[in-house]
Structure 1
């Protein structure tokens, strides 16, 4: 048996054709979905990247494994939790990764016999590199039982697809620099602008049309689709496709200007927490299977272990997991694994939430760079884009959800310190500190910048700083 997991960073579900998108972003991913199973309502319970992947590899939510923040200096995963690569290595699998998560936290390299660090001299990683390194490794280990984890950076910012991929999503007749178009102004004058100037906007040019940036995201997805096609066709060439359990998932989605979040992955709204999840395993998973019920990241570990048990009659220890196996849903015995999913984030802002089939409830601990009400309530059935906050109109419903969230936190922590509150008390929001460091370069404090965040002001200060250096 062979297992390949593809983490597709920042890929939101509704930007794929198989999830209903009308633009040609994902013809090959859609093909894979038709050859296996697609989960229509899959969620990242903990975001962003560090918390999400830790949940995936432990089968536990952040409150149980303790990692609820991204980019924090306080977080550390001790060596006692179960860890998917380690479990599979002990079960006789050759374990390998093409990945850069080790650059974030050391525990992401645990359990691998081969760890191929894809990091280079740039912040971003091209999908061509990941696919190339994966093919080289597969060629040498195709005859073994293996677990291979691939972390694709595309379509994470900065959106830098090859130029030929852009025109299908932003025609040559359009002008991204049209001076009459002011749709970029909200992003340029947002509190987060100094950070994204360095890490995104400077790389794509001083454009004026926000639609162009969204088109770059779509082009990135289309480019990623071609890299996955190349990888999958190589499995056929090696004649191991039939024996391979292939899992594609997003670690989180991406906000493309929704909720005043400009090309980033914070906020517990569905554009960020609803992720694609597709599984293919010839002769084991039914083709064209669509699971409509809710599932989440932590379900992947028990699902993989049950798949290994089926294929190799392996016996695993009684691991403690928050996730549930997806196999009953894949076989049609059930439809999803959870009726309620608890959500958490701590990076640009700190919040927790509840997602049911009908409602989304969000409680904000620290709004960070954003203007957020303390409570948000959305009826997903009638307001899928979460634009109308019902918290004040339906206070009893909001109060009921807040109590349910509080009970879940208390019962999960069992008297232990809340890692979210510890983070906010001892260090604050991790990404707020990043903004403060950037602002220091131009002589601004966080408080000064908050009073008047504007692209023009920041650029003038930066220009004066650079001239002074010269």
Structure 2
């Protein structure tokens, strides 16, 4: 197999300058959506015939998507830190979900875009991304107040919340936005992480594959969000970037879930852009890119 060298998305823009299809409406706003524990090969647009993800598929077919995107770590906090700083864990210093926090001196997408006049908001779905770990810097609102969701999911002690709940907070924030001020919003959805207890009817539809049920549910909620953006007149001026922090092994390579090994099962993630920034709509790029490349591309 031919080896693919990593190519920065930011550099990729320059390389494709002559064939780039500029959106008819200039991009003013940026919505970054990170899906926890979502392998690239679980989505329909990436070739999976056993799941229905029509909303993410539609987003990719009207924009661009990358079939060879890899995260920098197989766990949540280090990977998200790479996405928001453009640095790998060796350089940003966050190596697990518990013992590290991003230094105050490290710039993030939020701090830099806020300096450029953007309204900034983050909406996370798990305690792993609590503000204490440093990713809240630069956000006008960092919505991580999920303690009261503690026993909502089948009465279990899980400090997470459903996609629909987190999206509701984002929509409230967007409804209060000044139409003249650009915004940068980060939405994190945790549902695809174990335990797999998708709401009905997704739990029934994917009874033999509960993980697929969670991903299908997330796609449904994202569809509702996309409809909201359209109704608010925000869709045309907003670039939506969808990616994941990592995947899951599901017993491959001797690993039950994720967090230890860096095989493609845990590092190969989707990367979807809602606008055809690179070539024609629906273009699938085979160039290998990394999660940290999102940072310079946005800036």
The residue aligned with 2:24 is: none
**Pick from 133, 138, 147: which aligns with 1:106?**
133
Whether 1:272 and 2:266 are equivalent positions in the alignment is yes
The residue aligned with 2:250 is: 256
SS of alignment partner, residue 278 of structure 1: strand
**CA distance in 1 between partners of 2:267 and 2:65 (Å):** 16
* Bigger Rg, structure 1 or 2: 1
More helix by share: 1
In the TM superposition, structure 1's runs of 4+ consecutive aligned residues that sit over 3 Å from their partners are: 263-266, 282-286
**Pick from 62, 70, 74: which aligns with 2:89?**
62
**Pick from 29, 33, 39: which aligns with 1:6?**
33
Deviations 1:334-365 (A, max 9, x none): xxxxxxxxxxxxxxxxxxxxxxxxxxxxxxxx
SS of alignment partner, residue 33 of structure 2: strand
**CA distance in 2 between partners of 1:286 and 1:8 (Å):** 25
Distance 1:52 1:92, change over 3 A: same
**What is the Cα deviation at residue 71 of structure 1?**
2.2
Whether 1:37 and 2:64 are equivalent positions in the alignment is yes
State the structure with bigger RCO (CA 8 A, min sep 6), 1 or 2.
2
Deviations 1:45-102 (A, max 9, x none): 2231111111111111111112222322xx2332222211000000000000112454
CA contact (8 A) 1:35 1:280 kept: yes
**Pick from 131, 153, 158: which aligns with 2:195?**
158
CA contact (8 A) 1:83 1:111 kept: yes
**What is the Cα deviation at residue 292 of structure 1?**
0.2
CA contact (8 A) 1:161 1:223 kept: yes
CA contact (8 A) 1:253 1:271 kept: yes
SS of alignment partner, residue 46 of structure 1: coil
**What is the Cα deviation at residue 168 of structure 1?**
2.7
SS of alignment partner, residue 31 of structure 2: strand
Whether 1:82 and 2:119 are equivalent positions in the alignment is no
TM-score (norm 1): 0.53
CA contact (8 A) 2:77 2:96 kept: yes
**What is the Cα deviation at residue 32 of structure 1?**
0.5
CA contact (8 A) 2:131 2:144 kept: no
**Residues 240-319 of structure 1 aligned to structure 2 (within 5 Å):** 240-281=234-275, 286-305=280-299
**What is the Cα deviation at residue 142 of structure 1?**
5.8
CA contact (8 A) 2:121 2:141 kept: yes
**Pick from 18, 40, 46: which aligns with 1:19?**
46
CA contact (8 A) 2:102 2:133 kept: no
Distance 1:27 1:266, change over 3 A: farther
**CA distance in 1 between partners of 2:131 and 2:139 (Å):** 17
**CA distance in 1 between partners of 2:177 and 2:111 (Å):** 18
The residue aligned with 1:219 is: 213
Deviations 1:183-213 (A, max 9, x none): xxxxxxxxxxxxxxxxxxxxxxxxxxxxx4x
How many residue pairs end up in the alignment?
260
Q: Structure 1 regions of 5+ residues with no counterpart?
A: 171-211, 306-470
**CA distance in 2 between partners of 1:44 and 1:158 (Å):** 22
**What is the Cα deviation at residue 227 of structure 1?**
0.6
**Pick from 123, 140, 156: which aligns with 2:159?**
123
**CA distance in 2 between partners of 1:283 and 1:45 (Å):** 24
**CA distance in 2 between partners of 1:19 and 1:274 (Å):** 11
CA contact (8 A) 1:71 1:104 kept: no
Deviations 1:17-70 (A, max 9, x none): 111111123111111010111100000122311111111111111111122223
SS of alignment partner, residue 273 of structure 2: strand
**What is the Cα deviation at residue 282 of structure 1?**
6.2
**CA distance in 1 between partners of 2:129 and 2:266 (Å):** 23
**CA distance in 1 between partners of 2:218 and 2:192 (Å):** 7
CA contact (8 A) 1:13 1:274 kept: yes
The residue aligned with 1:332 is: none
Whether 1:95 and 2:89 are equivalent positions in the alignment is no
Q: Structure 2 regions of 5+ residues with no counterpart?
A: 1-27, 151-157
TM-score (norm 2): 0.82
Whether 1:231 and 2:268 are equivalent positions in the alignment is no
Deviations 1:411-438 (A, max 9, x none): xxxxxxxxxxxxxxxxxxxxxxxxxxxx
**What is the Cα deviation at residue 275 of structure 1?**
0.4
CA contact (8 A) 2:39 2:265 kept: yes
Distance 1:53 1:84, change over 3 A: same
